[in-house]
C-alpha cells in the first residue's frame, strides 16, 4: 500500500494569505504577471517570476529564487509550522461545486514501484528543466493531485475536521474560495495515516510532470549520497489527496500550427478520404468518439470508426496516431512544437482565438475521458499522450510549501 505522511508546511502568515498564493505561473499572461509584480509585493510571483530573473543563466536564477524565498521567510511573510501536520483543504468554485481533500507528502519510492500510478506520458524538456529547478531550489510549492477510491473512514475524519473554524478562508479574484484546516492533533494524524493504509493505490490525476521531475531529482540526489537511507527529505513529494469520484474532468483541445506542407483544404481532403467527416453549421460539444475540427472558414465533425474504439483506443490516441502522426508526420508529440493545447473548460474560445490570430491552422475538440477509463489504462501499465485531461481542482502556488 502507498503511504501518506504529515509535514511542517511553510505557508503564508494568516493576514497575508489572500496576497501570497498565485495561479500556476505558466497559465498567467506575461502582461498580467508584470501587473501583479508592480502592485503586490507579497505575491509568490515575486519569488519565482520576477523580471530580473528572466535574463539570468539557470544556476544564478535558481540561486536568486532561493534567496527571495528565504527573504519572505525572514520577513515572516511565510511562516513554518513547528510540527508535522496534515492539512484539510476545501476549494469551492463560483459555479458552486467544491473539493475537500488532504495535503500531505507521498513517497517517491511508491511512485517508482508502481503504487502511485500514472496515466499520461510527460514532455522530456519540461521534466528536465523542472528537475534541475527542484535540485537547486529545494522547495515544492505546487502539489501533485493524487486520487483514490473514496474511503468512508477518511471521509469521516475530513468531516470531523471541517466542522471546526478554518485557519484560512479567502477568495481569489476569480471567485474561487479556499478554506484550510491544519490537523495538529497527534491522534487524528495517526488515524488518518492508518486509514490511508487501506487504500490500495493512488492515481496521479494532475501533476505528471511534477511527479516525474521530483522522482528524477530524487534519483540524482540518492546516487550522490553514499549514506542514502530513504528517510531524507528529498524522498517525498508534496501532494493533495482527493477521491477520484469528486474530480471534474475536461479535455485538452489541440491546435496544429503547420500541416507538413499541406494547405488547410488539402488537409481536410485527406481527412475525408480516410475517415467519416462532415461539415457542420455551428459549433457543438463533441460526443464520445467524435472530434470537432475547426478552421478559419468551416467546422467539421469526424466520427471515429468503430474498429478503433473496439481496440480500446481513446479519442486522443486516435487523434495523435491516425491524424497527427499518420497524416502530418509528427513522430513524437512530446517534442513537437507544432501542437498547442487549450484546456477544455475554456470551451471553444481559446482555439478559436488562436486560429483567428494565425497561431494555429486547424483546431481539434475532444470529448473528456471518464476517470474510470483512465484507471483502466493506469492499471494495465499503459499511458495516454501528454495533456489528455484537464482536471479540477487546481491548487494555488505558494499556499503550502514543502522545503527539503
Co-location of 75 and 192 in the same domain: yes
Co-location of 91 and 206 in the same domain: yes
Structural domain of residue 353, as residue ranges?
Answer: 252-367
Q: Which of 401, 317, 369 is nearest to 78 (CA)?
A: 401
Co-location of 95 and 222 in the same domain: yes
DSSP class of residue 7 equals B
Report the pLDDT value the prediction gives residue 381, as an integer from 0 to 100. Answer: 87
Report the pLDDT value the prediction gives residue 311, as an integer from 0 to 100. Answer: 72
- Is the residue at 382 inside a domain? no
Q: Which of 254, 244, 208, 253 is nearest to 376 (CA)?
A: 244
Report the pLDDT value the prediction gives residue 384, as an integer from 0 to 100. Answer: 85
CATH number of the CATH domain containing 79: 3.90.1530.10
Co-location of 238 and 329 in the same domain: no
Report the pLDDT value the prediction gives residue 50, as an integer from 0 to 100. Answer: 81
What does DSSP say about strands 362-366 and 144-148: parallel, antiparallel, or unpaired? unpaired
Q: Measured between alpha carbons, how far is 79 from 77 in angstroms, rounded to an integer?
A: 7
Report the pLDDT value the prediction gives residue 122, as an integer from 0 to 100. Answer: 85
What does DSSP say about strands 10-12 and 78-80: parallel, antiparallel, or unpaired? antiparallel
Q: Measured between alpha carbons, how far is 248 from 296 in angstroms, rounded to an integer?
A: 30
- Is the residue at 373 inside a domain? no
Q: Measured between alpha carbons, how far is 293 from 276 in angstroms, rounded to an integer?
A: 12
What is the number of other CB atoms lying within 10 angstroms of the CB of residue 210?
24
Answer yes or no: pTM beyond 0.75: yes
Co-location of 313 and 345 in the same domain: yes
Q: Measured between alpha carbons, how far is 109 from 121 in angstroms, rounded to an integer?
A: 19
Co-location of 193 and 313 in the same domain: no
Co-location of 204 and 272 in the same domain: no
Co-location of 25 and 76 in the same domain: yes
- Is the residue at 378 inside a domain? no
- Is the residue at 380 inside a domain? no
DSSP class of residue 401 equals B
- Is the residue at 374 inside a domain? no
Structural domains counted in the chain: 2
Co-location of 145 and 228 in the same domain: yes
Residue with cell 494565425: 358
Co-location of 316 and 335 in the same domain: yes
Co-location of 226 and 342 in the same domain: no
- Is the residue at 293 inside a domain? yes
Q: Measured between alpha carbons, how far is 88 from 142 in angstroms, rounded to an integer?
A: 16
- Is the residue at 157 inside a domain? yes
Co-location of 128 and 228 in the same domain: yes
Report the pLDDT value the prediction gives residue 85, as an integer from 0 to 100. Answer: 98
Cα 171 to chain center, whole Å?
A: 21
What is the number of other CB atoms lying within 10 angstroms of the CB of residue 289?
17
- Is the residue at 61 inside a domain? yes
Report the pLDDT value the prediction gives residue 317, as an integer from 0 to 100. Answer: 92
Helix, strand, coil percent content, the chain, rounded in steps of 5: 35, 25, 40
Q: Which of 9, 162, 12 is nearest to 99 (CA)?
A: 162
pLDDT in tens, the chain (404 residues): 899 999 999 999 999 999 999 998 888 888 999 999 999 999 999 999 887 777 889 999 999 999 999 999 999 999 999 999 999 999 999 999 999 999 999 999 999 999 999 988 888 888 999 999 999 999 999 999 999 999 999 999 999 999 999 999 999 999 999 999 999 999 999 999 999 999 999 999 999 999 999 999 999 999 999 999 999 999 999 999 999 999 999 998 999 989 999 999 999 999 999 999 999 999 999 999 999 999 999 999 999 999 888 777 899 999 999 999 999 999 887 778 889 888 887 777 888 899 999 999 999 999 999 888 889 889 988 888 888 888 999 999 999 999 99
Q: Which of 7, 141, 124, 13 is nearest to 65 (CA)?
A: 141
CB 392 within 8 A of CB 207: no
Amino acid at each position: 500500500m502507498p503511504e501518506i505522511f504529515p509535514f511542517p508546511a511553510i505557508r503564508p502568515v494568516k493576514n497575508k494569505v489572500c496576497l501570497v498564493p498565485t495561479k500556476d505561473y505558466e497559465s498567467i499572461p506575461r502582461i498580467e504577471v508584470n501587473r501583479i509584480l508592480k502592485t503586490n509585493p507579497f505575491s509568490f510571483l515575486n519569488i519565482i517570476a520576477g523580471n530580473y530573473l528572466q535574463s539570468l543563466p539557470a544556476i544564478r536564477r535558481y540561486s536568486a529564487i532561493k534567496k527571495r524565498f528565504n527573504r519572505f521567510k525572514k520577513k515572516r511573510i511565510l511562516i513554518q509550522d513547528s510540527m508535522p501536520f496534515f492539512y484539510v483543504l476545501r476549494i469551492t468554485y463560483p459555479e458552486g461545486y467544491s473539493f475537500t481533500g488532504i495535503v500531505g507528502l507521498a513517497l517517491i519510492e511508491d511512485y517508482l514501484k508502481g503504487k502511485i500510478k500514472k496515466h499520461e506520458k510527460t514532455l522530456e524538456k519540461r521534466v528536465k528543466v523542472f528537475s534541475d529547478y527542484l535540485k537547486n531550489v529545494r522547495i515544492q510549492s505546487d502539489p501533485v493531485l493524487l486520487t483514490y477510491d473514496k474511503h468512508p473512514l477518511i471521509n469521516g475524519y475530513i468531516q470531523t475536521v471541517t466542522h471546526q473554524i478554518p485557519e484560512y478562508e479567502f477568495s481569489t479574484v476569480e471567485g474561487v474560495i479556499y478554506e484550510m484546516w491544519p490537523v495538529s492533533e497527534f491522534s487524528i494524524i495517526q488515524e488518518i495515516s492508518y486509514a490511508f493504509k487501506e487504500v490500495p493505490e493512488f492515481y496521479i490525476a494532475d501533476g505528471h510532470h511534477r511527479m516525474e521531475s521530483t522522482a528524477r531529482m530524487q534519483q540524482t540526489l540518492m546516487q550522490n549520497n553514499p549514506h542514502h537511507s530513504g528517510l531524507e527529505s528529498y524522498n517525498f513529494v508534496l501532494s493533495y489527496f482527493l477521491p477520484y469520484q469528486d474530480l471534474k474532468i475536461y479535455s485538452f483541445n489541440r491546435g496544429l500550427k503547420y500541416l507538413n506542407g499541406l494547405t488547410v483544404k488539402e488537409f481536410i481532403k485527406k481527412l475525408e478520404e480516410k475517415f467519416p467527416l462532415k461539415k457542420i453549421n455551428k459549433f457543438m460539444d463533441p460526443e464520445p468518439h467524435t472530434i470537432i475540427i475547426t478552421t478559419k472558414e468551416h467546422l467539421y465533425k469526424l466520427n471515429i470508426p468503430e474498429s478503433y474504439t473496439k481496440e480500446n483506443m481513446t479519442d486522443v490516441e486516435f487523434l495523435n496516431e491516425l491524424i497527427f502522426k499518420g497524416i502530418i508526420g509528427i513522430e513524437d508529440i512530446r517534442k513537437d512544437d507544432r501542437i498547442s493545447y487549450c484546456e477544455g473548460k475554456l470551451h471553444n474560445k481559446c482555439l478559436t482565438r488562436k486560429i483567428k490570430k494565425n497561431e494555429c491552422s486547424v483546431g481539434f475538440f475532444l470529448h473528456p475521458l471518464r476517470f474510470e477509463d483512465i484507471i483502466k489504462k493506469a492499471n494495465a501499465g499503459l499511458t495516454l499522450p501528454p495533456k489528455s485531461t484537464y482536471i479540477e481542482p487546481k491548487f494555488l502556488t505558494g499556499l503550502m510549501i514543502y522545503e527539503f
